[in-house]
Amino acid sequence: MKNYNLAVIPGDGIGKPMTMAAWDVLTKVAAQSGFSLSQVTFPWSCDYYLQTGEMMPADGIETLRPFDAILLGAVGWPVKVPDSVSLHGLLLPIRKAFVQYANVRPHRLLAGVEGPLRSPNFDILCVRENSEGEYSGAGGRVHQGQPNEVAIETAVFTRSGVERILRYAFEQARRRRGKLASVTKSNAQKHSMVFWDDMTDELSREYPDVEVERYHIDAMAARMVMAPASLDVVVASNLFGDILTDIGAAIQGGLGFAASANIDPHRNGPSMFEPVHGSAPDIAHLGIANPIATIWSAAMMLDHLGEHSAASRIMAALEKTTAQGVGTAPGKDKTDRIKTTVLAALE
């Protein structure tokens, strides 16, 4: 029987109950689908940092490398550890080390979920560049505390980096409804963003079957609210994609539904699957966090591993759950009730 060996990093706050719920769903669907799953849980988190001085051990990346995939709950507990430390010590190094350059986030309403919009019929796949751009980490801060203090954060756009994310987005568009929206701010940022537009034009010649539209980020932010049904695949730089996918989460009913995959399409190392919501310190002890985003991310993981029908089974169980009115609004149901409903829906 085929076995997949997973690294599970629950992380902080609601990360632990969310990954536990997803794990229960994963093992059930695996048993139904004729493959098995093994896992190692890593305690890397802000608590781990407080005990050891590091978010993960020095050989953490090498430890993760042999796994088939990584399931991550959430990273961050800002009252104990600044986000700039926790995220740069765990989440972001994993994305970078394993060249998970495609951050893929689906935005659509599950059956029975009422989002804030009047038009519910959208189905958007956001493809966010995940390795460079505005989050390159290049920059510095000098003359700290002096009146002439300077902080510089350099956005980095490389030909290889832009080409590979656009190519990935074109491929996704080809597999879906054949439409690609490429998002920049090339009217104001005349170097990097004009370059991105040029690369989009260059690649579009290889994908004549994909209809490409270019948007500026401000216009796209409005479009995702006003006319989301007009969109199919949306591709954007790291920062722009980060912002747009929070809008995506909002229109799909909230962060409790926002799944994501950090993918290395070349499969040189493990890809990582995580909900968008973060550790949610405000509700972490209430047992009411919605595990749907993590379970959906787990379905994306199975899809990536080639277990397409098992992934579809999970998505069907999620829809069956929300169609019954369970887990459809923030705080409405306990985590446990949502999980057991999903498990029952898998029968």
Residue 242 falls in the annotated catalytic set: yes
Which of 242, 264, 307, 333 is close enough to bind ligand IPM by CB under 6 A?
A: 242
Is 129 among the residues that bind ligand IPM (CB under 6 A)? Answer: no
87 binds, among Mn ion, ligand IPM, none (CB under 5 to 8 A by kind): ligand IPM
- Whichever of 83 and 163 has its CB closer to ligand IPM, that residue is 83
Residue 131 beta carbon to ligand IPM: minimum distance, rounded to whole angstroms: 11
Strand order across the 211-216 sheet: 36-41, 3-11, 69-74, 271-275, 259-263, 102-108, 123-129, 233-236, 179-184, 211-216
Residue 135 falls in the annotated catalytic set: yes
Residue 56 beta carbon to ligand IPM: minimum distance, rounded to whole angstroms: 16
Residue 185 falls in the annotated catalytic set: yes
Is 242 among the residues that bind Mn ion (CB under 5 A)? Answer: yes
- Whichever of 7 and 258 has its CB closer to Mn ion, that residue is 258
**Bridging pattern class, strands 69-74 and 211-216:** unpaired
Is 129 among the residues that bind Mn ion (CB under 5 A)? Answer: no
Q: How many whole angstroms separate alpha carbon 3 and alpha carbon 27?
A: 11
Is 90 among the residues that bind ligand IPM (CB under 6 A)? Answer: no
307 binds, among ligand IPM, Mn ion, none (CB under 5 to 8 A by kind): none
Span near Mn ion by CB under 5 A; candidates 67-75, 178-186, 242-250, 292-300 = 242-250
Residue 248 beta carbon to Mn ion: minimum distance, rounded to whole angstroms: 10
Task: Spell out, one character per residue from 270 to 289, where the chain touches ligand IPM: x when CB under 6 A holds, - when not.
Answer: ------x-------------
Residue 246 falls in the annotated catalytic set: yes
Which of 20, 61, 85, 87 is close enough to bind ligand IPM by CB under 6 A?
A: 87
Residue 270 beta carbon to ligand IPM: minimum distance, rounded to whole angstroms: 17
Q: By CB under 5 A, how many residues form the interface with Mn ion? A: 1
Which of 185, 264, 320, 339 is catalytic? The answer is 185
Task: Spell out, one character per residue from 190 to 229, where the chain touches Mn ion: x when CB under 5 A holds, - when not.
Answer: ----------------------------------------
158 with 164: CB under 8 angstroms?
A: no
For CA atoms 13, 18, 24, 29, the dihedral sign is negative
Which of 135, 168, 207, 215 is catalytic? The answer is 135
Catalytic residues: 135, 185, 218, 242, 246
Residues of this chain that interact with ligand IPM (CB under 6 A) are: 87, 242, 276
